[in-house]
Amino acid sequence: MKDITIPGGKNAEKARKLMRVFSPLTGAELEGEYPVTRLEEVQYAVEQATAAFPVFSTKSGQERAAFLTAIGEEIMALGDDLIQRAMMETGLPEPRLNGERARTIGQLNLFANHLREGSWVDAILDPADPDRKPFPKPDLRQMLQPLGPVAIFGAGNFPLAFSTAGGDTASALAAGCPVVLKAHEGHLGTNALVSRAIRLAAERTGMPDHVFQYVVGDGYITGLELVRHPGIKAAGFTGSFSGGKALLQATHQREDPIPFFAEMGSTNPIVVLPEAMCLRGDVIGQQLVWSFTLNAGQFCTNPGLILVREGDGLDTLIDAMHEAVLTRQSELMYGNGIRTNYDLRSRELLQLKGVTLIGKGADGGPLDGQATLAKVNAVDFLIQPELQHEVFGPFSLIVVCPDDHSLLHVLRSLGGQLTATLMAEESELHGREDLMAELIHRCGRLVWNGVPTGVEVSPAMHHGGPWPASSDARFTSVGTQAIRRWVRPVCYQNIPEIFLPLALQSNNPLHIWRRIGAEWTKEGSGMRDQG
């Protein structure tokens, strides 16, 4: 197998900057040194990805599916070494990482099946009409084609499912785009293991060299260099708002605009309506505390804002949440800076005008995130926009609104959200379509009487929302539709049958769903003789 690090050419002998990883569990330096990728090596990687593109993009769906399945198998073959390394690097508990590995492999297999089924290319066929006046109508057929090499940024909070072989990589490879990954500096050992699995799978299934490569760097420089390179045709990022914004601005420095998908998290507001609060405020309170403290609140769908109306039931809700928070065990946060930042941000918010602490969870180790619940009234919330910023960690803020009007006002003040949740009785939502419309205009996913944490990997999932939740609300980073981020339609006009991609040939040899006129069908088009 070829070495997965990038050859340094004539400068390889020069002293190289090395990165190490610190364990959030012990604070100690972990085994392993990771050479920082030089800028000329970043360029070389993109050139290699560009060279791999024509070969990789013309592999059949079946072939790419075999590649994705093989990646999953090679990840499993890493066995407990992978889980142990990820635990040491992120501090996430073993069951969580086992679950995440299952999710990662599930995602790879989901995309493999999506490719095998084949209809994702969105084939559309318009029959010709040679007799039309004044001009004959041509035969037109369109399908999705991959964009080219893409840059993916591994996320810190999901070292497997949103990192090296996570949903971004899986969907890009599924689409036919070579990947250059910026490894997350918090889990470089985990990344090296998974990268090796990907390269083994590529070799085993006959994929071109350099279909997957990774680069290492601290700070933003390596990543900025990557997205500015003209050979990169799209980029995907999951992480902080500041990180996403810096990369977005770097793409603006390019001559050509590229699709850039940053999923930056949000406060995921929960609206609890009065009847629901009266009837089951205690249950809702327990659910919400469980959701915002899960894995130390390190989910991008963490419910950080709870909007309620003053009145009966509010005390029940707050009491239940208070009680649940107090008994909540603290959990380790996944990176060194993350806990410091969490403490700082939650303390800052508690000092803002009108913000009062309801309760804190048990205080654990020095790297744990301590559950924190606070409240504020609507007026103080509205005059302090800082209260809208996400606190990454187990923090949630109850915003108490005196009436419906005020609740709507608070809602309208919010930026874009990944999710919005309604805790309500059906009866109290009739005639309140305005409330639902406001929520929908602000989010990518609307949840009814549930919690937003838990992002199903399925066709109808949409994980992305209006700015600042994500940089492009039109695309999802979770679920099969995530493949749409890396493709564009191409139209074929009067192309002879023999030169058409299989997906567009008249007799539909792939037996996929295609749109012909206004109908979807798995039949052939009858558009042209097969002679």
> Which residues are identified as catalytic?
263, 300
458 backbone dihedrals φ, ψ, rounded to 5°: -155, 170
Is the CB of 2 or the CB of 474 nearer to a second copy? Answer: 474
Is the CB of 193 or the CB of 504 nearer to a second copy? Answer: 504
For residue 262, list its beta bridge partners. 237
Is the CB of 198 or the CB of 207 nearer to a second copy? Answer: 207
Q: How far is the CB of 449 from a second copy (least distance, A)?
A: 7
Is the CB of 195 or the CB of 238 nearer to a second copy? Answer: 238
Is the CB of 392 or the CB of 475 nearer to a second copy? Answer: 475
Q: How far is the CB of 36 from a second copy (least distance, A)?
A: 30
Is the CB of 316 or the CB of 480 nearer to a second copy? Answer: 480
Positive/negative CA dihedral, 404, 463, 232, 101: positive
Cα distance between residue 408 and residue 2, in whole Å: 59
Q: How far is the CB of 433 from a second copy (least distance, A)?
A: 8
Is the CB of 221 or the CB of 448 nearer to a second copy? Answer: 448
Is the CB of 3 or the CB of 255 nearer to a second copy? Answer: 255
- Classified as helix, coil or strand, 260 is strand
Plot region of 517 (φ>0 → left; ψ -120 to 50 → alpha; else → beta): left
Plot region of 336 (φ>0 → left; ψ -120 to 50 → alpha; else → beta): alpha
Q: How far is the CB of 176 from a second copy (least distance, A)?
A: 11
Q: How far is the CB of 377 from a second copy (least distance, A)?
A: 27
445-449 own/partner pairs: CB under 8 Å, 24+ apart:
445/418, 445/419, 445/420, 446/419, 446/420, 446/421, 446/422, 447/419, 447/420, 447/421, 447/422, 448/421, 448/422, 448/424, 449/276, 449/422, 449/423, 449/424
Cα distance between residue 477 and residue 313, in whole Å: 37
Cα distance between residue 479 and residue 488, in whole Å: 18
Contact 273, 309 (CB under 8 A): yes
Positive/negative CA dihedral, 294, 298, 303, 304: positive
Tokens (6 digits) for 97: 């990482």
Q: How far is the CB of 496 from a second copy (least distance, A)?
A: 5
Q: How far is the CB of 327 from a second copy (least distance, A)?
A: 22
Residue whose C-alpha is closest to residue 345's, from 291, 378, 386, 375: 386
Q: What residue type is assigned to position 47 of the chain?
A: E
Cα distance between residue 103 and residue 162, in whole Å: 10
Cα distance between residue 485 and residue 243, in whole Å: 20
Contact 150, 179 (CB under 8 A): yes
For residue 286, list its beta bridge partners. none
Q: How far is the CB of 116 from a second copy (least distance, A)?
A: 10
Tokens (6 digits) for 501: 């991609």
Contact 457, 479 (CB under 8 A): yes
Cα distance between residue 495 and residue 98, in whole Å: 49
Q: How far is the CB of 476 from a second copy (least distance, A)?
A: 7
Residue whose C-alpha is closest to residue 370's, from 424, 306, 327, 409: 327
Cα distance between residue 310 and residue 358, in whole Å: 16
Is the CB of 279 or the CB of 460 nearer to a second copy? Answer: 460
Q: How far is the CB of 472 from a second copy (least distance, A)?
A: 7
Is the CB of 366 or the CB of 496 nearer to a second copy? Answer: 496
